[in-house]
Amino acid sequence: MKRKKPMQRGGPLKRTGSLRPRSKKKSAEYVERRKLVSRLLGERPYCEACPVFARHDEVSLYNRKASVDIHELKRRSQGGSILEEDNLLAVCRECHDRIGHEPKLAIELGLAVPGWWTKP
């Protein structure tokens, strides 16, 4: 079979503006997310993971810190929602870092959910 010439266009493609970092749909979702995060941090002023880690570390006295982050139990990349309250925990920065650095432990303690898990 004979190969044809590549298709010719009217010239180089011209970009009319800068690319948007997010689509309009995702931007609207993030507006809702910001409202949800500020509400949850107000409703849950203390870290929800501190007592769980203290029980695991067998510490009877611990300092329960203020929550500053919202942690998603099931990651977005694994199909988790950023707008479902059941999927969100208010945590301090230290616990959020520990959940990220020790994923197996976080799954065992119920602070993270494996990607293949679905609700019954």
Task: Per-residue pLDDT tens, the chain, 120 aa: give them.
Answer: 667 776 666 666 666 778 778 888 988 999 999 999 999 999 999 999 999 999 999 998 888 899 999 999 998 888 888 899 999 999 999 999 999 999 999 999 999 998 765 554
What token pair was written down for 33? 């997310």
79: left (phi over 0), alpha (psi -120 to 50) or beta: left
Q: Mention every residue, 6+ apart, whose C-beta is less than 8 A from residue 47.
A: 64, 65, 66, 67, 90, 91, 92, 95
Q: Which of 84, 49, 92 is nearest to 67 (CA)?
A: 92
CA angle 40, 46, 51 (to 5 degrees): 125
